Structure 1
C-alpha cells in the first residue's frame, strides 16, 4: 500500500574508527477521495433554499499525500519526521488555506520511553478520541459535530507544538501537547495544551482527552487555515459557533469507547466544549454583545457491521445541545447518518453515505437555528439532507 525507500549504507561502508552509518527509510503515502454529492437545501443570496448536485472532494476522507521517515540512531533510538500536504482533487488546490504542508509537519526523536516531536501537529482529542466517531470511520466529514467544534474529526491543527506520546504498555498509552503562544510579554496568550490517554485490550477500546486553548479564534480556528494567528471568521462560517468567536478561552473534555462483538462494532463519543470569557474583541467579533460563557454537549452513538469481507455498513446518531447565553436561548442539532463501503481491493473502495440534520432553537448568531451539515453551505431552514457516492484510493 505504501512505497518505501530504504537506504542501508551501514552494512556496506565502515570507517576506520569502526562507526557505521545508520539505516534510514522514507515512505510516500496518500489518499485521493472524490464523490458526487446531492444536497436538498442550500441557502442562496436570495434567501431561498435550493437543491444542489456537485462533484465534491473528500467525501469519506480528506485527500492528502505525505512523506514519513525514520533514521536508526542506535540503542533503540530513532529520528522521525512527517511532511503531510492536504489537497482538493476536484480543483488541484491546496487545502488548509493554501498551506503546502497544512495537515501536519514535524520532526522528533523516538526511543523505548516514547516519542517527542516538534512542529504543526494534532492535539490529544484527535489522537485519543477521534477514532471513536463515525465521521473518521465511514460517515465522512458531514457527520462532524457542529462544524467540528469539538475537533474530533481533526479540522483544526496546532502550530508551534511540542508533543509527547508514550509507547503502548499492556494496552495503555498516554501523551500530551503544548503550543507556545509566541506573544512577547504574555506567555499564556494564544497558548494551547492538551492531555490524553487510551486503553485497548481484546474487544474493548476507550479513550479520553482534554484540550485547553486561549484566544481560540486566533490560535486554533484561524491557525488551521492560515498558519499564523489570524481571525477565523471567514474560515469558520458555521452558524453553530460563529457568534461566539470572541471567546477568551476554549476547553474541551472528550470521551470515547468501542466494543467489538463478532462482525459488529458498537461505539460512541461524548464531548463537552466550553467557550469562556465571551466579549474578548481582541480575539474575534462580538456583534451580539455576548458575555460569560457558553457550553456545547455532544453525544454520539454508532454501529458498524461487517456484512462481508469486502463490505461494511454503518449507522450513527449525534445529539448536540448548546446552552442559553445572552440573546441566544440555546440550540439543538440532531444528525443521523447511514453509509456503506465496498472494497474493490485493499487500496480502492466505493462508498455511499446519506446524512440528515434537524436544528431547533436559536443559533449563536441570534437568529433561528438552521441545519448545517459540516462543510456544506447551511440550509435556509431547520432541515438538511445530503447523499454522496464516491471512490477512494489509498497509496
Structure 2
C-alpha cells in the first residue's frame, strides 16, 4: 500500500490490489474450424474470478465525507491480453463521494445493480468459466457512463443506477436505469432488483429479480430468480463503437421478430468443510420463450461442482466440473444469441450438440 499526501489537504490512502486466476480446462463439443464439434484442452481464465490489477483510494474531506476512486484493469492471465473489449480499465473506472449520513455517489464505468445484487445470491458470486457465468449475460455486468448511488439504513441497503446514453436529443437512447433493495440481518439476506435498458431503436430490456441466502453453521444456501424480457430486435452496439449499450455484455435479441423472455433460476450451497477446504454445488436453469421468430421455446441448464483448498489466505487451488445442456428451440437457435452456451455448442448448425461436459483445475492468488 502506498500513501500520497499534501501539506495543504488531508491524506489520501491508495491501495494496489489484484487477482490472478488461471486454469487448465478440458471441454467436449466445442465448434472446430471446419464447423464440426470436438474436444478441447486449453489454458483459460479461472473458474472463480477474472484476473485483474487495480488501484483504489479514499481521502478524508472532513465532516464525515470522503472522496473515493477505483481503477481496475482486467487481463487474461493465460496470455497477458487486456480483457473487457480492450479497455485499459475495463473492469471499473470511477470517482465518487461518500458521506456517513448521505451515502455514496459514484461516477464512471461500474457494475450494474442487477449484477451487484444477484451476485450476492450466487454460490460462486458469479463464476468465470463460460459455462458457470452465462446467466449474467442476461442483465449485463458493467456499464459505461454510470451514476450509482448507495445508501444503507441499518440492515437495509438501497441502490440506484442511471447509465447515461449520451445521445443528443435522445437522452434515453442507450440508457440503463434501475433500483435495488436488500436486507441483511444475522444469517439471512434477501433482496430484489429492477433494471431497464434501451437500445438505439428504443427496444427495451427489462430485468426483475429476487434472491436470498442463509448461513446455517458451515453451510451457506443460495437461491435466486430473475426474469429478463427483450423486445423484438433488441441489440447492443459493437464494442468500442460508441453506440448505444456498447461495452456491455448484454444478450442480444437481434433477428428475432418476437419478444424473448428468459426465466432463470439459480440455486446452490457452499460448505466450509474445514478452515482450508470448501465445496460448492450449483445449478442454473433458463426456461426460454420465443427463442426465435418461429415462437419456439427452449432451455439451457448447467450443473457444476467445485472443491477448493486454501494454501493460505491469498492462494488456493481448486477442481471444477460442469455439465451444460440445451433443449428445444435453443439447439436450433440460428441467431446464436445464447453467448458461449448456445453459440459455442454449434446452435443452429447441422452439427449442433445438446450437451457439454467440462473439467478444470485452477490456481488463484490474491494480492
| Structure 1 and Structure 2 fold alike (TM over 0.5) | yes
8 Å Cα contact 2:181-2:192 kept in structure 1: yes
Q: Which residue of 2 aligns with 1:132?
A: 121
1:382 is the counterpart of 2:361: no
Q: Which residue of 1 aligns with 2:26?
A: 38
Instruction: Check 1:373–1:387 CA distance in 2 against 1; reply closer, same or farther (3 A cut).
Output: farther
Q: Which residue of 2 aligns with 1:363?
A: 330
Instruction: Check 1:139–1:257 CA distance in 2 against 1; reply closer, same or farther (3 A cut).
Output: farther
Instruction: Check 1:279–1:79 CA distance in 2 against 1; reply closer, same or farther (3 A cut).
Output: closer
Instruction: Check 1:25–1:276 CA distance in 2 against 1; reply closer, same or farther (3 A cut).
Output: same
Instruction: Kindly report which structure 2 residues correspond to 1:302-381, keeping only aligned pairs within 5 A, or say none.
Output: 302-324=268-290, 326-363=293-330, 366-367=333-334, 377-378=344-345, 380-381=352-353
TM-score normalized by the length of structure 1:
0.81
Instruction: Kindly report which structure 2 residues correspond to 1:1-395, keeping only aligned pairs within 5 A, or say none.
Output: 4-7=1-4, 21-112=9-100, 113-136=102-125, 140-146=129-135, 148-151=136-139, 156-166=141-151, 168-215=152-199, 248-278=203-233, 288=255, 290-324=256-290, 326-363=293-330, 366-367=333-334, 377-378=344-345, 380-395=352-367
Root-mean-square deviation over aligned CA pairs: 2.8
Cα displacement (A) at 1:377: 3.4
8 Å Cα contact 1:351-1:391 kept in structure 2: yes
Name the SS for the 1:121 alignment partner: strand
CA distance in 1, matches of 2:339, 2:324: 7
CA distance in 2, matches of 1:375, 1:83: 33
Structure exhibiting the larger radius of gyration computed from Cα positions: 1
CA distance in 1, matches of 2:189, 2:137: 24
Deviates more, 1:355-364 or 1:63-72: 355-364
Tell me the alpha carbon deviations over residues 280-315 of structure 1, each in whole angstroms, 9 at most, x when there is no partner.
899799875x32411000011101111111000011
Instruction: Check 1:278–1:369 CA distance in 2 against 1; reply closer, same or farther (3 A cut).
Output: closer
